[in-house]
């Protein structure tokens, strides 16, 4: 059995550069076939207004998300600081009690 040329060899995946070259060639072929279109000025002005409004909405949404993110961040920082403060306070109280108990044990009691 010698080498047989099967159609499956052509189905192997192409490299990305070949795929992009094919797409680019297709887009150029479509561009050559289509004729240029004159756009109505009313369409252009309406599209411009819609895009500008969309930018303003996107900006407002971004600012809202940023404020919410900042609020969550500062809430987490405050909660972490509160937990840290409670922990440090507990350790300091424990050290003071431990020190006082050692002082009481080490001082001799006065005998009468």
Decide if 75 is inside a domain: yes
pLDDT recorded at residue 84: 98
Decide if 22 is inside a domain: no
Decide if 95 is inside a domain: yes
Print the domain residue range for 74: 41-107
Question: What span, in angstroms and rounded, lies between the C-alpha atoms of 56 and 53?
Answer: 5
Decide if 83 is inside a domain: yes
Decide if 60 is inside a domain: yes
Indicate the number of domains in the chain.
1
- Reported pTM: 0.45
Decide if 55 is inside a domain: yes
Per-position pLDDT tens, the chain of length 112: 444 444 444 555 556 678 889 999 999 999 888 888 888 899 889 988 888 888 888 889 999 999 999 999 999 999 999 999 999 999 999 999 999 999 888 776 666 5
Decide if 32 is inside a domain: no
Question: CA nearest 17: which of 9, 5, 25?
Answer: 25
């Amino acid at each position: 059995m010698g080498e047989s040329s099967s159609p499956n060899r052509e189905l192997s995946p192409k490299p990305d550069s070949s795929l992009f070259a094919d797409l680019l060639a297709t887009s150029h072929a479509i561009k050559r076939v289509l004729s240029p279109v004159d756009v109505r000025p009313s369409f252009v002005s309406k599209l411009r207004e819609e895009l500008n409004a969309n930018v303003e909405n996107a900006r407002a949404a971004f600012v809202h998300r940023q404020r919410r993110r900042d609020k969550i961040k500062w809430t987490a920082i405050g909660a972490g600081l509160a937990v840290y403060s409670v922990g440090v306070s507990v350790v300091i109280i424990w050290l003071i009690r431990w020190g006082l108990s050692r002082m009481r044990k080490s001082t001799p009691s006065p005998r009468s």
